[in-house]
A and B are shown apart, each in its own frame.
Chain A
Amino acid sequence: EAAVTQSPRNKVTVTGGNVTLSCRQTNSHNYMYWYRQDTGHGLRLIHYSYGAGNLQIGDVPDGYKATRTTQEDFFLLLELASPSQTSLYFCASGGTGVEQYFGPGTRLTVL
């Protein structure tokens, strides 16, 4: 069974704060993705990666950085968090095919 874990599951920070969201996959997948989910919108792609050290910009990258340190680990960084970044964040991994396996999500609140 594919496994994608995220931490923390919930995070509250203040405007201007520094936040790191972590994602780990044990599927040996090359591809990893960060999405955000907001009410009234479908999931939107922030950043993604083809492998360790690789980073690609998604559709809504402003205000976010990402790092892929190993095949298993993908991090999303908010260096100056803003209230507009309050959202539910999902990490996903995928192989060479079309299927993506999603983590349980991290709920981030920026006050």
Chain B
Amino acid sequence: KTQVEQSPQSLVVRQGENCVLQCNYSVTPDNHLRWFKQDTGKGLVSLTVLVHENDKTSNGRYSATLDKDAKHSTLHITATLLDDTATYICVVGDRGSALGRLHFGAGTQLIVIP
């Protein structure tokens, strides 16, 4: 059973618009949650990591929130650029060390058009 669900599956926005990606999960325990960006045919690049209940992080135009009670996270991208076209993957880690397992969502494919 999929433990990390992302929505929407795909999204098209115009350059300059904002967008919000959602991640719901059932992983227990949920030690941390990380958002990755994956360009087509490339590896995963970490954008941000959230650890604590009600964590909020910001990394340039990317910002994220985590609600551990609801087991829900959002990734906000403001003023999108064409280079933001990629798949965004939500990953939940069940431990705070390398001994833990990572649980991957299937990703949201974001397409930014001129």
- Report A's interface with B, CB cutoff 8 A: 4, 30-31, 40-45, 90, 94-100, 102-105, 107
Contacts and interface: CB of A to CB of B under 8 A. Distances in A.
A105 B104 CA distance: 16
B101 A105 contact: no
A42 B43 contact: no
Contacts of A94: 98
B46 interface: yes
A98 B2 contact: no
B67 to A, nearest CB: 20
A31 B101 CA distance: 12
18 contacts: A40-B106, A41-B106, A42-B2, A42-B4, A42-B103, A42-B104, A42-B105, A43-B102, A45-B101, A90-B43, A96-B97, A97-B97, A98-B31, A99-B49, A102-B43, A102-B44, A102-B45, A105-B42
B46 A99 contact: yes
